[in-house]
């Protein structure tokens, strides 16, 4: 679960972007200051709802007089479901509306996409994980939404886990050397993942102290061979061009994780609207 500490700055930046120093000139000029309204967030399509605490914070950040009630975070809803209700000063509700919707709809879109991949591999041992292909500045929200959809997070950034990829290996001169340097520099407690593109590279990786091997863009037959080679000595992760149509077959090769960049970098927002009642 995320807290206000995780997203307060994101919300403040989003509101500042929308309001500048002048504020909502439409609501200020059209709606009497004493006007009060009740609005409902309605799902226009089915999906998994994520981001209700963030959307609620947007409203209270704009005006502490706004009251909010909602369904449970992570709920699966059908089209037409009332997700949340807000009541309070009309001007303030409309001022907060777009920022709240932008964040709620994006996070729900990510959660919904993740849930579809999770459902597609149900019954296998594979778990769906994310990547660093998130919207800049919104990573904490994107990755939280992945967990709401049933996925798991890979590293949060460059700072918390080592991932040695092809360019690192080229620059270091050798896969084994790269892993040894990372381990010597960071110690035994930091996790190391190494990316390989062939079974020969995998054989080299298995001779290192890496914790996970990322099997990049391998076909199904090669993935099965790779899993057999690893024999549980380190975690396995399949990556590269994974789609809903291919993910089940990938999971059935026996890999532990399947990383899907598309759940954060290409997922459309869930269609959610705010209507006054």
Catalytic residue among 127, 132, 133, 155: 133
Active-site pick, 24, 130, 142, 195: 195
Cα separation, 36 vs 87, whole angstroms = 7
Is residue 143 annotated as part of the catalytic site, yes or no?
no
The alpha helices in 190-257, defined as continuous H runs, are: 199-206, 220-230, 247-251
Question: Has 195 been annotated as catalytic?
Answer: yes
Residue of 6, 45, 98, 211 marked active site: 98
Total Cβ atoms within 10 A of residue 4? 13
> Which among 132, 155, 165, 183 is annotated as catalytic?
165
Asked if residue 143 lies in contact with residue 263, where contact means CB atoms within 8 angstroms, the answer is: no
Cβ burial, residue 37 (10 Å; 0-12/13-18/19+): middle
Q: What is the token pair recorded at 133?
A: 């292909």
Catalytic residue among 97, 216, 237, 256: 216
- Give the Cα separation of 19 and 141 in Å (integer): 22
Q: Is 91 a catalytic residue?
A: no
Catalytic (active site) residue 165: yes
- The catalytic residues are 98, 133, 165, 195, 216
């Amino acid at each position: 679960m995320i807290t206000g500490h995780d997203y307060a700055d994101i919300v403040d930046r989003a509101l500042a972007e929308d309001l500048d120093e002048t504020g909502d000139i439409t609501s200020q000029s059209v709606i009497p200051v004493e006007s009060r309204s009740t609005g409902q967030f309605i799902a226009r399509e089915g999906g998994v709802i994520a981001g209700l605490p963030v959307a609620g914070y947007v409203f209270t950040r704009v005006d502490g007089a706004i009251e909010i009630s909602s369904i449970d975070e992570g709920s699966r809803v059908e089209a037409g479901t009332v997700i949340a209700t807000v009541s309070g000063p009309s001007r303030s509700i409309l001022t907060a509306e777009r920022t709240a919707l932008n964040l709620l709809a994006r996070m729900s879109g990510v959660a919904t996409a993740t849930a579809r991949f999770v459902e597609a591999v149900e019954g296998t041992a594979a778990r769906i994980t994310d990547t660093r292909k998130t919207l800049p500045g919104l990573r904490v929200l994107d990755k939280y939404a992945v967990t709401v959809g049933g996925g798991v997070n890979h590293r949060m950034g460059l700072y918390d886990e080592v991932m040695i990829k092809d360019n690192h290996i080229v620059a270091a001169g050798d896969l084994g050397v790269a892993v040894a340097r990372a381990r010597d520099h960071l110690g035994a407690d930091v996790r190391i993942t190494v990316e390989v593109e062939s079974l020969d590279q995998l054989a080299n990786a298995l001779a290192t102290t890496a914790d996970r091997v990322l099997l990049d863009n391998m076909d199904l037959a090669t993935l099965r061979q790779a899993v057999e080679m690893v024999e549980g000595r380190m975690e396995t992760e399949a990556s590269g061009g994974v789609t809903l149509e291919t993910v089940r077959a990938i999971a059935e090769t026996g890999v532990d994780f399947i990383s899907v960049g598309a759940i954060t970098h290409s997922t459309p927002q869930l269609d959610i609207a705010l209507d006054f009642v």
